[in-house]
C-alpha cells in the first residue's frame, strides 16, 4: 500500500476510488480496479475465509480419505501379488509332488515286474533242471539197453560164427573139434 | 459525475470496449459502499471455487472405491501430483506442509478456471488476493525457517561457496532477491490473469464491426485456449515456487 507521504500513491488511490464509485453506479471501471485499495480489506477478508474453508475441507475430509484410498489400493495390489506368488509356489509344489509320485509309481512297477520275472525265471530254471535230469536218466537207461542189445548181438554173432565154422569144417570133411573151433573163432573175432 | 465520465469515454472511443469492467468489485445485494464484510462478487466466486473443490475432492471420493470413478481418479491425480511435487522439491521433511500447498494450488487452480467462465469474476486477477497469498507464503517460510534453523537460517544469504571477498556483495543481492520474491510471486499470477482476460475482452469488443467479426471469433477462441493453459500453468508455477521457497526453510540453507 502507498504510504500517506507518497503523493503519487494517494493520487492513484483516489483515482481508483473514483472508478469504483462509477462502477457502483454503472458497473463500469475507469483505470484498474485492482489498484482500488478501498476494496482490499474486503477481498483479503473473503480470501482468508475461503482459504480456511478449503484447508478445513482438505485436512478434515478430502486428504485423509484420498490418502487412505491410495494406501488401500497399494495394500490390495501388494496383497494380490503376494497371494499370486503364494499360489504359484503351491502349484509348483503340487507339480513337484505329482512328478515324485509318478516316478515312485514307475519305480514300483519296475520292481514288481523284476520280481515277477525273477519268480518266473526260478520256476523255469527248476523245470528245466528237472527236465534235464529226466533226459539224463532216460538216456542213461537207453544206453544201458543199447549196450545190452549190442552185447546180446555180439554173443549171438559169436555163437553163429562157431556154429557156422563147425558146419563148414564138417562139410569140408574135417573132424570138427568143438573146443578148437570155438577157440579159433574167438581168436579171429578178437582179431 | 462518474457516470458522466464513463459516458463521454464511451462516446469518444467509438467502440463499447471496457476491458477492465470485468474486474470491478460490486456488492451482491445492492449498496455502493464496500466494507470488509460486504458480500461481493469476490465472495460469490470464491464460494463457488470452494463448492467446486468440495465437489471434486469430497463428493467425488465419497465411495472410496479401490477402482476409482472418473472424478475420484481426477481427485487422486491432483493429490498425487501435488504430493509428489512437495516431496520431490522440499524433501521428506516438507511433506507435512502438503495440506497448505494443496490448499493454495486448488484455490488458485479453481479461481483461474472459474474465471474463464463467461461473465464470471476472476478473483486471482486481483493483486490484493495474490499479494495476500504470496505474503502468506513469504512470511510462513521466513518464520518457519527461523523456527527450524534458528539464526542459521540467515546463512542462506552468506554464500559459503563463493570467494570471501565477493560474499558481502552476494549477501546483499541474496537479501534483495529474497525480498523481491513475494512481489514477483504475486504480480506474476495477477498480471497473467488480468492481461489475458483484458485481451479477450478487447478483442471481443471488435466483434461489433461486421467486417472483422469472423476473425474476432477465431481469435477469441484461440486466446481462450491459451488462457486455459495459462490458468493451469500459473497455478502450477505458483505452487512449485511455494515449494521451492519452502525448501529453503525446511531443507536448511542449501541452494
Q: Do B123 and A47 touch (CB under 8 A)?
A: yes
> Number of A:B CB contacts under 8 A?
166
Q: Do B34 and A62 touch (CB under 8 A)?
A: no
pLDDT recorded at residue A27: 54
Distance CA B225, CA B222 (A): 5
CA of A25: which chain B residue's CA is closest?
B3
The mean pLDDT of B55-74, rounded to a whole number, is 91
pLDDT recorded at residue A191: 65
Q: Do A46 and B68 touch (CB under 8 A)?
A: no
The mean pLDDT of A48-58, rounded to a whole number, is 96
Of B3, B23, B57, the CB nearest to A34: B23
Cβ neighbours of B104 in A, within 8 Å: 51
pLDDT recorded at residue A10: 42
Poorest-pLDDT segment among A20-24, A139-143, A166-170: A20-24
Cβ neighbours of B47 in A, within 8 Å: 50
Q: Do A43 and B133 touch (CB under 8 A)?
A: no
Listed as own residue / partner, the contacts of A9-14 with beta carbons closer than 8 Å and 24 or more positions apart are A13/A37, A13/A38
Grid cell listed for B40: 461481493
pLDDT recorded at residue A9: 43
Q: What is the pLDDT of residues B14-58, one digit of tens each?
A: 567 788 888 999 898 888 888 888 999 999 999 999 999 999 999
Grid cell listed for A51: 482459504
Q: What is the pLDDT of residues B125-179, one digit of tens each?
A: 999 999 999 999 999 999 999 998 888 888 888 888 888 888 999 999 999 999 9
Can you give chain B as a three-state secondary structure string?
A: CHHHHHHHHHHHHCCCCCCCHHHCCCECCCCCCCCCCCCEHHHHHHHHHHHHHHHHHHHCCCCCCCCCCHHHHHHHHHHHHHHHHHHHHHCHHHHHHHHHHHHHHHHHHHHHHHHCCCCCCCHHHCHHHHHHHHHHHHHHHHHHHHHHHHHHHHHHHCCCCCCCCCHHHHHHHHHHHHHHHHHHHHHHHHHHHHHHHHHHHHHHHHHHCCCCHHHHHHHHHHHHHHHHHHHHHHHHHHHHHHHHHHHHHHCCCCC
The whole-angstrom distance between B58's CA and the closest CA on chain A is 5
pLDDT recorded at residue B255: 45
ipTM of the prediction: 0.88
The whole-angstrom distance between B177's CA and the closest CA on chain A is 20
Mean pLDDT comparison of A95-99, B6-10, B36-40, highest-scoring range: A95-99
Of A43, A46, A61, the CB nearest to B58: A61
B117 pLDDT above the threshold of 80: yes
Chain A contact for B243, CB < 8 A?
no
Domain ranges for chain B, please list them: 2-250
Chain A contact for B68, CB < 8 A?
yes
Greater pLDDT, A174 or A168:
A168
Amino acid at each position: 500500500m502507498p504510504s500517506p507521504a507518497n503523493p503519487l500513491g494517494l493520487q492513484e488511490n483516489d483515482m481508483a476510488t473514483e472508478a469504483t464509485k462509477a462502477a457502483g453506479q454503472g458497473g463500469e471501471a475507469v483505470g484498474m480496479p485492482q489498484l482500488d485499495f478501498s476494496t482490499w480489506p474486503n477481498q483479503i477478508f473473503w480470501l482468508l475465509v475461503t482459504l480456511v474453508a478449503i484447508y478445513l475441507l482438505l485436512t478434515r475430509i478430502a486428504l485423509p480419505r484420498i490418502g487412505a484410498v491410495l494406501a488401500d489400493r497399494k495394500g490390495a495390489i501388494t496383497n494380490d501379488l503376494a497371494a499370486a506368488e503364494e499360489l504359484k509356489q503351491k502349484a509348483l509344489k503340487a507339480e513337484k509332488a505329482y512328478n515324485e509320485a509318478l516316478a515312485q509309481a514307475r519305480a514300483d512297477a519296475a520292481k514288481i515286474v523284476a520280481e515277477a520275472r525273477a519268480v518266473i525265471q526260478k520256476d523255469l530254471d527248476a523245470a528245466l533242471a528237472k527236465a534235464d535230469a529226466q533226459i539224463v536218466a532216460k538216456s542213461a537207461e537207453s544206453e544201458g539197453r543199447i549196450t545190452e542189445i549190442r552185447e546180446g548181438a555180439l554173443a549171438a554173432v559169436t555163437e553163429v560164427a562157431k556154429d557156422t565154422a563147425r558146419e563148414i569144417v564138417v562139410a569140408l570133411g574135417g573132424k570138427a573139434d568143438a573146443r578148437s573151433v570155438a577157440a579159433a573163432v574167438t581168436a579171429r573175432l578178437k582179431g | 459525475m462518474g457516470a458522466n465520465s464513463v459516458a463521454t469515454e464511451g462516446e469518444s472511443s467509438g467502440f463499447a470496449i471496457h476491458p477492465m469492467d470485468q474486474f470491478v468489485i460490486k456488492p451482491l445485494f445492492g449498496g455502493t459502499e464496500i466494507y470488509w464484510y460486504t458480500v461481493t462478487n469476490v465472495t460469490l466466486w470464491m464460494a463457488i471455487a470452494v463448492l467446486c473443490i468440495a465437489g471434486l475432492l469430497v463428493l467425488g471420493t465419497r465411495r472410496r472405491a479401490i477402482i476409482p470413478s472418473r472424478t475420484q481418479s481426477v481427485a487422486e491425480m491432483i493429490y498425487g501430483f501435488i504430493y509428489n511435487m512437495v516431496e520431490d522439491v522440499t524433501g521428506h521433511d516438507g511433506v507435512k506442509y502438503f495440506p497448505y500447498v494443496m490448499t493454495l494450488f486448488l484455490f488458485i487452480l479453481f479461481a483461474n478456471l472459474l474465471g474463464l467462465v463467461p461473465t464470471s469474476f476472476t478473483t486471482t486477477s486481483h493483486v490484493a488476493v495474490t499479494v495476500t497469498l504470496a505474503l502468506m507464503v513469504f512470511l510462513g517460510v521466513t518464520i518457519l525457517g527461523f523456527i527450524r534453523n534458528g539464526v542459521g537460517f540467515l546463512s542462506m544469504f552468506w554464500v559459503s561457496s563463493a570467494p570471501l571477498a565477493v560474499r558481502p556483495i552476494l549477501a546483499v543481492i541474496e537479501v534483495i532477491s529474497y525480498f523481491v520474491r513475494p512481489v514477483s510471486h504475486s504480480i506474476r499470477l495477477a498480471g497473467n490473469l488480468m492481461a489475458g482476460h483484458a485481451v479477450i475482452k478487447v478483442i471481443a469488443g471488435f466483434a461489433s464491426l461486421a467486417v472483422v467479426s469472423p476473425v474476432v471469433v477465431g481469435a477469441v477462441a484461440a486466446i481462450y485456449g491459451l488462457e486455459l493453459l495459462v490458468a493451469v500453468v500459473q497455478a502450477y508455477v505458483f505452487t512449485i515456487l511455494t515449494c521451492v521457497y519452502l525448501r529453503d526453510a525446511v531443507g536448511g540453507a542449501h541452494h
